[in-house]
Amino acid sequence: MSGPENTGRKQVHLAAQLPGIHNVTVWADPRSRSQIAFDSFQHLARTAERGRFDFFFLAEGLRLREHKGRLYDLDVVGRPENLTQLSALAAVTARLGLAATVNATFNEPYEVARRLATLDHLSGGRAAWNVVTSFDAFTGENFRRGGFLAESDRYARAAEFLATARELWDSWAEGDVRADAAAGAFVRPGAGRFAHHGEHFGISGRFTTPRPPQGHPVIIQAGDSPAGREFAAAEADVVFSKYNRLDEARAFYRDVKSRLARYGRTPDRLKILPTATVVVADSDAEAAAHAEEITRAQVSPQTAIAHLEAVWGRDLSGYDPDGPLPDIDPVPDAQMLKGHSLFRRDRDAIARGWRALAEECGLSIRELVIEVSGGQTFVGSPHTVADAIDHFVQSDGADGFVLVPHLTPGGLDDFVDRVVPLLQEKGVFRRDYTGPTLRDHLGLPHRPERTPVPKETP
C-alpha cells in the first residue's frame, strides 16, 4: 500500500492512548479486560498500528490519588511502569511510535536519557518522551522531595533537564562505534564524553549508550500555562492540547504556532494533538444514545460527589447526586482530592461558574459534572466521524488527535475498521507507513540540531 495522495490538504495525525487516568475508563464494563496484563497493552498497540497511527502513548501517575485520606479507586489505579511496557511492545510492533510520560521533576537526566536511548535502539527509532513536571508536595513525598521545588521553577528545571539529555544523546557522534577488528579498536577515544554545569544539574563523565537512531527521541509536551506554551514552542515536537471544541482549539493552535518563529522554527515542526474520544455506530442516532450511556457510566453518582468535594473542599457525602448543588460556599485551600491535577486552581471561580450553569440549565449535581466534564468528542456514523475529524484539522483546530477509548483494550477497533478507511479515501491519512521511525510518521527531521537561542521579540 502507498501513502496518502497529494491532495494539497493537511494530513491527519493520529495517536492512541491507553486509558486509565481520571474517569475515562469504564472498567466495570463486561467487555473491559485487565489494565495491567501485557495482552491489553499489546491489543491496543497492534490495533493502532493496523490503523497506521503515528504512536501509542502511556500517561503516568507517580502517586495514587487519595480522597478524604483514603485511596481514590473510583477510577483505575495502579499500572506498570511506562518505559518497561513500551520496551516489551517494541518487540510485538514494527512501525508504531512508542511514547511515554517521564517526569522531569523526580528523575535525573542521565538515567532518563539512557532509558529513552535504549528504547529508541530497541524499536529502531520509534521512541518519544512526554516531558512533564510535578506541581505538588504530595507526589514529592514518594521521593523524599516534598515541596523542594517552587512551581514557578519547574519549567526552568524541565528545560535544563531536556537540554542535558540532549547533550548526552549528542555525546556520541556518527561513526564513534568503529568495531575495527584489525586495529583492535571498538570505539573512538572521545565517545560518550560529556560535561554539564547548570543551575539544576552538574554532571560529567561518559554516556553509556550510542546515539539513538532518531538522533533525539521525539519530544512531547502538554502544559497549557503561558510558560508551558512557551516551553512547547521552544522544545517540543508534539504538544498535547486539552481543547477539542473548535473555537477554543483554533485559538490555542494560533497562539502556540505563532510562538515558533522566535525559536527559528516553522509551524510544521510542531504538531498539535488534542485528546479526543470517539463513539461510532451505524447511525448518528444510535451513536448519540451509546455516547450518553458511556458518559453516565464514566460519571457515576460517587464520581460526581467526589468531583464536587474536590472543588468545594468539604465533605458532601450527605448530598443527593441527583439533587441540587449545595447552598454553602467552598472552603478555601482545603484539599479533599490529592494527587489529582483537576480543580487545583481558582476553585472559588469554578464553584461560581458551576452554580451559575446549574441554575441556568436546571442541572443536578451529577448532570452538572457530566456537563463540565465534556461528553464524547466525535459521535456518529463512520462518515460523520470522518468528516468531523477532517473538518477540525483542515480548519486549523489541530494537526490530529490522541484518541482515548473508554474500553481496554478493544475501544479503538471500530474506529480503525470503519473510520480510518474513510479518512484514507479522503486523501488525508496515510494508507501505509512511509518510513521506519516516528520522526518519519510526523514529518520531522532526523538528527535534530540544538534548539537555537530565541530571537528578541520586537
Task: Tell me the DSSP string of 71-111.
Answer: E--SS------HHHHHHHHHTT-SS-EEEEEEESSSS-HHH
What integer pLDDT is reported at residue 168 of this predicted model? 97
pLDDT tens for the 458 residues of the chain, in order: 344 455 679 999 999 999 866 778 888 889 999 989 999 999 999 999 999 999 999 998 888 888 888 888 888 888 889 999 999 999 999 999 999 999 998 899 999 999 999 999 999 999 999 999 887 788 888 887 666 677 778 888 999 999 999 999 999 998 899 999 999 999 999 999 999 999 999 999 999 999 999 999 999 998 788 888 999 999 999 999 989 889 999 999 999 999 999 999 999 999 999 999 999 999 999 999 999 999 999 999 999 999 999 899 999 999 999 999 999 988 877 788 887 766 666 788 889 999 999 999 999 999 999 998 877 899 999 999 999 999 999 999 999 999 999 999 999 999 999 999 999 999 999 999 999 999 999 999 876 654 343 443 33
Q: What is the pLDDT of residues 244-286, one digit of tens each?
A: 889 999 999 999 999 999 999 999 999 999 999 999 999 999 9
What integer pLDDT is reported at residue 452 of this predicted model? 40
CA distance 160 to 451: 12
What integer pLDDT is reported at residue 24 of this predicted model? 81
Sequence-ordered strand ranges (E) for 318-457: 337-338, 378-380, 400-403
Residues in the chain: 458
Q: State the cell numbers at 421.
A: 478507511
Q: State the cell numbers at 349.
A: 471561580
CA distance 458 to 289: 52
Q: How far is CA 382 from the centre of its chain?
A: 25
CA distance 308 to 329: 12
The CB density around residue 202, as the number of other CB atoms within 10 Å, is 10
Looking at the DSSP bridge assignments, the partners of residue 27 are: none
Residue 113 phi, psi (nearest 5): -60, -40
Are 98 and 118 in contact by the 8 Å Cβ rule? The answer is no
What integer pLDDT is reported at residue 456 of this predicted model? 39
Determine whether domain 13-277+377-442 maps to CATH 3.20.20.30: yes
What integer pLDDT is reported at residue 2 of this predicted model? 46
CA distance 314 to 335: 8
Q: State the cell numbers at 354.
A: 458551576
Task: Please state at what angle helix 301-312 crosses helix 365-373, rounded to 10 degrees.
Answer: 80
Q: What is the pTM of this model?
A: 0.92
Q: State the cell numbers at 430.
A: 496515510
Q: Where are the domains of the chain?
A: 13-277+377-442, 285-373
The CB density around residue 189, as the number of other CB atoms within 10 Å, is 7
What integer pLDDT is reported at residue 349 of this predicted model? 87
What integer pLDDT is reported at residue 445 of this predicted model? 85
Q: What is the dihedral of CA 273, 275, 280, 285, to 10 degrees?
A: -110
CA distance 218 to 114: 15
